[in-house]
Amino acid sequence: MLYQRPERKFIRIKGYDYSSNGYYFVTICTNGREDFFDDVRNGIMGLSVIGCIVTEFWQEIPEHFDNVELNEKIIMPNHIHGILKLKNWHFRRDAINRVPTEMPGGATGMHNPMGKKTLGEIIRWFKGRVTYEIHKIGCDGFFWQSRFYDHIIRNNDELNRIRKYIQENPQKWEQNRNNPENLWM
């Protein structure tokens, strides 16, 4: 009998265009929530060499995706929280759909999902680039969790609440569910 993987739950909003203008809150965790980025001491997050690599490539996102503005972020021992603002001015609106000004096509001549500058494409680039650079310095055991958490920020009150959550994250590390010492929670 062949092994069948359990079916994965789809965690994105079905039918939502993740290249749409707006603010997105993302959380990206290391595989197994292993602490690679250093530690919180007295409510302040220190950064290891690996944590500095994560910071460097987070800051580079707008250089590779001209539709992104970075907002608040924090790197924690085993995850990163950040707010990205997507502003896709390169799309024009027709009567029914959002249509790219250039239709990428790909090898089949059909619509190519890459090149739309979606949230998933941005995070895929970031995770891949960070992993490559970390492996290059000899840390072959570093990997990200295969997925990431996202939340579409709907208004200014929510944006400010999430910014505050990010800013206060190091002070609340002792109670954080991502803290390996809290696995029993």
What fold does the segment set 22-169 form as a domain?
Alpha-Beta Plaits (3.30.70)
Rounded to an integer, what distance in angstroms lies between the CA atom of residue 112 and that of residue 165? 37
Give the residue among 127, 125, 132 at the shortest CA–CA distance from 144: 127
Residue 55: both structure tokens together? 């910071």
The helix (run of H) or strand (run of E) holding residue 119 is helix 119-136
Q: pLDDT per position in the chain (185 positions), as tens?
A: 565 555 555 566 777 788 889 999 999 999 999 999 998 888 899 999 999 999 999 999 999 999 999 999 999 999 999 999 999 765 444 333 444 444 444 444 444 455 678 999 999 999 999 999 999 999 999 999 999 999 999 999 999 999 999 999 998 877 777 776 766 54
Pairing of strands 79-86, 68-75: antiparallel
Q: What amino acid occupies position 40?
A: V
Domain ranges of the chain: 22-169
Q: What is the largest CA-CA distance in the chain?
A: 56
Query: What residue has token string 């990428």?
Result: 104
Give the residue among 72, 81, 67, 69 at the shortest CA–CA distance from 17: 67
